[in-house]
């Protein structure tokens, strides 16, 4: 199934520089560990180059200080949001929570209570750029990030090797009008970077390409989050 992804704008000025040096191409170091969020969920972590990333999508329902993040189910309520919220894909936690994690709007990122575990943060554009550069550029990084086979990804899952250990999964997304789309087809993660007052950046991979893509969309859409260690 081909992906149709609703986006606002893209810009070539935000594309990753594919020029390489001996330092940027180095061998991926798949060291592993764990980190715990405010809910007590434990996540696998992976070392990729000099960075340490979560190897699973975030699924916390609390800010770092323990305040609950509102779970918003109704489409009309989701559309009207201008503050942090989360949901599970198709509003079904039993089937999607552990595997795909939560879908968050961008406002959880800008909330000063923080959503990442202590000592971790939401990746910036520079964090993502460093990861992509280490994995030899936009055209191949998606394959290096994606989980292999088709137990979660729809065929053909082009180029997937998971050589990075990132284990990217196709958790889909929620549009600004509340509709859920593209589970098993694409996985997208918020970037801690605004484009305009109502629009922010995200990265995504899909089942028909080995690339990783850099796009922007409305802040009240819902995407996955991966945290990176400070």
pLDDT > 50? residue 14: no
Classify residue 178: in a domain, yes or no: yes
pLDDT > 80? residue 210: yes
Closest CA relative to residue 220, chosen from 173, 181, 169: 173
Closest CA relative to residue 85, chosen from 226, 228, 223: 223
Classify residue 96: in a domain, yes or no: yes
Q: What angle do CA 190, 196, 199 make, to 5 degrees?
A: 40
Q: Say which residue the tokens 């600004």 belong to.
A: 176
**Residue 77: per-residue pLDDT:** 97
Q: Whole-angstrom Cα distance, residue 87 to residue 78? A: 9
| pLDDT single digits (tens) 79-121 | 999 999 999 999 999 889 999 999 999 999 999 999 999 999 9
Classify residue 94: in a domain, yes or no: yes
Classify residue 131: in a domain, yes or no: yes
Residue range of the domain that includes 134:
29-229
Strand partners, 171: 183
| pLDDT single digits (tens) 29-84 | 455 799 999 999 999 999 999 999 999 999 999 999 999 999 999 999 999 999 99
**Residue 171: per-residue pLDDT:** 98
Mean of per-residue pLDDT scores for the chain: 89
**Residue 103: per-residue pLDDT:** 98
Classify residue 139: in a domain, yes or no: yes
pLDDT > 90? residue 11: no
Classify residue 69: in a domain, yes or no: yes
Classify residue 219: in a domain, yes or no: yes
**Residue 2: per-residue pLDDT:** 40
Buried b (16+ CB within 10 A) or exposed e, 18-53: eeeeeebeeebeeeeeebebbeebebebbbbbebbb
223 or 17, higher pLDDT: 223
177 or 32, higher pLDDT: 177
**Residue 27: per-residue pLDDT:** 42
| Counted domains in the chain | 1
Classify residue 79: in a domain, yes or no: yes
Percent of the chain having pLDDT more than 70? 87
């Amino acid at each position: 199934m081909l992906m149709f992804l609703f986006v606002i704008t893209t810009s070539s000025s935000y594309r990753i520089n594919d020029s390489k040096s001996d330092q940027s191409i180095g061998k991926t170091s798949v060291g592993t560990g764990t980190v715990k969020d405010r809910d007590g969920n434990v996540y696998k972590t992976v070392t990729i180059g000099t960075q340490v990333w979560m190897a699973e999508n975030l699924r916390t329902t609390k800010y770092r200080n323990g305040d609950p993040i509102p779970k918003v189910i109704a489409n009309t309520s989701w559309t009207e949001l201008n503050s942090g919220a989360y949901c599970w894909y198709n509003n079904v936690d039993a089937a999607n929570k552990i595997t795909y994690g939560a879908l968050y709007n961008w406002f959880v990122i800008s909330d000063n209570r923080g959503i990442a575990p202590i000592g971790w943060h939401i990746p910036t554009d520079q964090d993502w750029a460093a990861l992509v550069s280490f994995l030899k550029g936009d055209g191949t990084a998606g394959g290096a990030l994606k989980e292999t086979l088709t137990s979660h990804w729809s065929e053909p899952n082009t180029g997937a090797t998971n050589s990075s250990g990132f284990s990217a999964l196709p958790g889909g997304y929620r549009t600004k009008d509340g509709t859920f789309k593209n589970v098993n087809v694409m996985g997208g993660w918020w970037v801690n970077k605004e484009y305009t007052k109502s629009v922010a950046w995200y990265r995504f991979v899909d089942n028909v390409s080995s690339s990783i893509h850099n796009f922007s969309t409305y802040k009240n859409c819902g995407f996955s989050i991966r945290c990176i260690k400070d």
